[in-house]
Amino acid sequence: MKFEFVEFYPYRGPKKTYEQKKTIGTVHVYVYLTECDFQFDLRGIKFLKTAKKSFFKVPETLARDEETQKMVRYPFFSFSKMSDWEKLHSFLKQSVEPIIEERLKSLVEGE
């Protein structure tokens, strides 16, 4: 499995958004499944940041569990193997996050 960063789309809200725990923007990634020559676009990965850490969140929806009546998060897609999730997470943290940080610096300096 391979990944390719396509683009980061920053949220164009107030400047304070970058300093609070809010969605900073979304990421677009190509995912290549080399075992079966298959590729798909993964869009809408949210990049969130607090004062202490940053993290990525895959697209999801909320729905009520019929048994418990509690709200549950359901991802729009899921890898069957945890190792594939770990590969995606590693790619986002090591390869994509530094690019986002640079772009955020230029956005803040440009305001």
Sheet order of strands, 38-49 included:
2-10, 22-33, 38-49, 54-57
Domain boundaries, the chain: 2-103
Alpha-carbon span 92 to 45, nearest angstrom: 10
pLDDT recorded at residue 77: 86
- pLDDT tens-digit profile, the chain (111 residues): 899 999 999 886 655 555 555 668 899 999 998 888 888 889 999 998 877 888 899 999 999 999 999 999 988 888 888 999 999 999 999 999 999 989 888 776 665
